[in-house]
Structure formats: structure tokens, C-alpha cells
Amino acid sequence: MASIFSNPDFQIALLGGGQLGKMILSEARRMDIAVRVLDPSADAPCRLGAQHFVQGSFMDFDTVMAFAEGAQAVAIEIESVNADALEALEAKGVPCFPQSHVLRIIQNKVAQKQFYADHGLPTSDFQRFSTLKELTQAIDLGRLAFPFVWKLGQGGYDGFGVSVIRIADDLAGLSEGECIAETLVDIGCEIGVVVARNKIGESQSFPAVEMEFHPTANQVEFVVCPSALPPEAIAEAEALALRVSEAFNAFGLLAVELFYTKSGQWLVNEVAPRPHNSGHLTIEACSTSQFEQLLRCMCGLPMGDSKLLHPAVMANIVGAEGFSGPVRYDGLSDAMRTPGTAFHIYGKAQTRPFRKMGHLTSVGRSVDEARARAAAARDALQVRA
Ligand code: ADP
């Protein structure tokens, strides 16, 4: 059978040149799949390792169309790309991962939430507002009660654009724009499931991972697999994630973030139609990583086995508080002596407080052993300027 490997012209066009792109590139290199990358920054993590690196805006229609000319498939590694360009490429017969109709829904948290409601997918209750003023009027009229979670429709990222509102004073400083007010969920734990579907009818979910939060800083400290939840609950989460992907009719990867409530109910929080931070540990922990699975989906190759090989724990390597500027990795030699631990350094020239500069994944005979290794390696390493 002819495959992409006998087509010397086969090339993937990737929109975005950050760390997710860099990890796609390293799998692509291993499988000898050519990838060109578009990113606005000349020193993006993907500047090395791409067949061609083009500096330009993935938000600009003409730039994306010119960049993708002649490519056989298009992928994204960031959601803020020009969805009109993806639609135009699809009209020309170029498959895009994600498909433009999926991306459009996901680019707006209001549309995304409405999608779950319309498709009978469990999600927390919510009200939609066209403006912040409408929301405050709803409070004044007694139609919206504290506490709730405010989420900006478009333009939020990494926690900006999401705020727990407990009292009227918390409203100060919220961004203007279309938004939702969600019921504050009594979360037992947060689970991520990356799902893959291809066009030859195969689908698979990667093993569910559990996000462990730092006890005081409101940040994910470790991503852990397997989760400590009972196997029946995990099976429900993986089945629900697959249902979400089918409802979107999404091909390629869909990372599904779920809440498991204290009363044992699953709720969909949000999804990302691309490789995801919660799936990084699949590189060391699974037979096939999320990055390889995406490439297989894009290239018409069969799905790889996504089974967990051994317990694994991932920790992000983030910029230390109080340091901004050209990056330095202090304590790296000590950190790198940790057994069972792989380091991924993203190659960002500048550090900032809490900027994701890399991650590490530790494997072990048990989750506890993997977590202890990940904690030791992370604590030994300081990202400073
Ligand atoms: P972002 O896209 O910025 O990551 P999320 O929608 O994932 O935003 O929300 C960030 C975090 O806020 C979640 O991981 C969760 O801890 C908390 N959160 C979000 N929605 C709710 C909710 N309805 N109830 C309780 N906590 C929530």
C-alpha cells in the first residue's frame, strides 16, 4: 500500500512554533515526516528541527494561506489561529487538524459551553451575557447569585479570563466582553483525557490523568497517571471524553478536561483540539505518545496503542517568581541525577514568573515513587534570569 513514506512531497504545515510544536517535531523527525512551521517569533522553540521555519502571524488569513500552500495537511498547536484560513484550506481539500468547525466553537468559551448543553453533555449550569454590564444587571435583579465562576468568551488564556466571584468586590477589574457565569462546582478532582479519532473509524482515549494542585498556590503541581479514582469512575471519564469528541465530530486529538464532583458526578469543563499539557507524560509513559498519535491521524496511518506502560508523574518547569530576562537553569546537574526522569527544555530565551519553560516526567514502579522523583527533580531546579 502506498503510504506517506513513499511520497517525497508529503509535508505538514504547523501553525504555531511553541513547545507543543517542538514535541510534534521530534516525533515527526523520528518517523521521517516533514513539517514546516509558522510562528511570529524568530526564536520560537520550533526554530530548530522544522524543515522550514517561517516567521509570520498565524492569525493573518493571507499569511496562513501562503504558508500552507502545497502542504498535504495542516495542524495547529495554539488555538488563536485564523479559523477562516482553515476553512478555506479545507475547501481546497487540505485536511486540517482540528477541523475549522471544531476550532470555531472552541475559540469561544460561551459557544463551547452552549455546545455541551445542546448536545446533552454534562457540564456545570451557566448563564450567558453579551456584556459585563448585562451580568451586573442580572446580579442587581436577583437573577444571578454569588458565588459563581466568571469566564470571558474570547481572549482569555492560562487562567486569565476565569475568576471565582464570591462577593460584589470581586467584580472589579473583570475584562469587558461576552461572558458566562457558571455554577461554582464542588470539585473532588480534575481529570484530563486526551482522545484521538481518525478517518478510518478508529478511536482511542489515552489513560485518564489526574491534576494535583499545590495546597496553597492555585496551580497544577503534578499531572499523575494512573489517577487514584476507582477504575469504574475512570472508565466513565474515558467514555465521556470519547462521547465529547464524537459530538464535535472531531478528528485528530481532543484533550478533554473534566471535573469529578464530590458527589461522584462527571462534568465537562473545557476541551482543547490539539496536544495538551495533561498528555505530556504519554511520551515516557505510553506505547504511543499524544504527539505520535496526532501525526498518525494526520497521515492516514493506523492508531498506535495508547496503553500506560508504567506509573508516571509530570511537573511543569516554570520561571521562578521575581526573575525576568535571559533564562538560566540553576541546579540542573543535581536535578538530572534523578532516576527515571526525562527533561524537556523548551528553548525559550526569556524567563518570566510562572512562564512554562519546560517540563519533566518521572516514571516509577508506583505513582508514589514517580511523584517523589518528580518532586525531587523539580525542587532541585530553579529557572532564573
Ligand atoms: P483556562 O482555560 O484558563 O484553563 P478553565 O476553564 O480550565 O480555564 O478554568 C481554570 C480552573 O478554574 C479550572 O482548572 C478549575 O480549577 C477552576 N474552575 C473552572 N470552572 C470552574 C467551575 N465552574 N467551578 C469550580 N472551579 C472551576
25-190-365-357 Cα dihedral, nearest 10 degrees: 40
Asked if 141 and 38 sit in the same domain, the reply is no
Asked if 317 and 298 sit in the same domain, the reply is no
Residue 281 zone, left/alpha/beta (φ > 0; ψ -120 to 50; rest): alpha
pLDDT at 158: 64
Pocket of ligand 1 (CB under 6 A): 124, 149, 156, 158-159, 161-162, 182, 184-185, 187, 190, 257, 269-270
Q: Read off the amino acid at residue 345.
A: I
Q: pLDDT by residue (tens digit) across 310-320?
A: 999 999 999 99
Residue 6 domain flag: no
Say which residue the cell 498535504 belongs to: 72
Asked if residues 319 and 354 have their Cβ atoms less than 8 Å apart, the reply is: yes
Asked if 132 and 193 sit in the same domain, the reply is no
Domain boundary among 237, 269, 304: 304
Asked if 194 and 178 sit in the same domain, the reply is no
Residue 105 domain flag: no
Asked if 275 and 221 sit in the same domain, the reply is yes
Ligand 1 pocket test target in 269, 270, 274, 354 with most atoms within 8 Å of CB: 269
Residue 323 domain flag: yes
Say which residue the cell 496551580 belongs to: 219
Asked if 157 and 88 sit in the same domain, the reply is no
* Cα(162) to centroid(ligand 1), Å: 7
* Cα(178) to centroid(ligand 1), Å: 17
Question: What residues make up the domain containing 166?
Answer: 125-183
pLDDT at 159: 65
Residue 19 domain flag: yes
Residue 106 domain flag: no
Whole-angstrom CA distances from 181 to 15, 68, 149, 264 are: 32, 38, 5, 23
We report the CATH number of the domain holding residue 344 as 3.30.470.20
* Cα(244) to centroid(ligand 1), Å: 18
Task: State the total domains in the chain.
Answer: 4
We report the CATH number of the domain holding residue 175 as 3.30.1490.20
Asked if 179 and 290 sit in the same domain, the reply is no
* pLDDT lower than 70: segments of the chain: 1-2, 157-159
Asked if 92 and 152 sit in the same domain, the reply is no
If you take atom 11 of ligand 1, which residue's CA is the nearest one?
Answer: 159
* Cα(153) to centroid(ligand 1), Å: 13
Residue 107 domain flag: no
Residue 33 domain flag: yes
pLDDT at 2: 67
Residue 102 domain flag: no
Asked if residues 58 and 15 have their Cβ atoms less than 8 Å apart, the reply is: yes
Asked if 376 and 329 sit in the same domain, the reply is yes
Please tell me the number of Cα atoms within 13 Å of 61 on its side-chain side: 5
* Cα(149) to centroid(ligand 1), Å: 8
Asked if 245 and 333 sit in the same domain, the reply is no
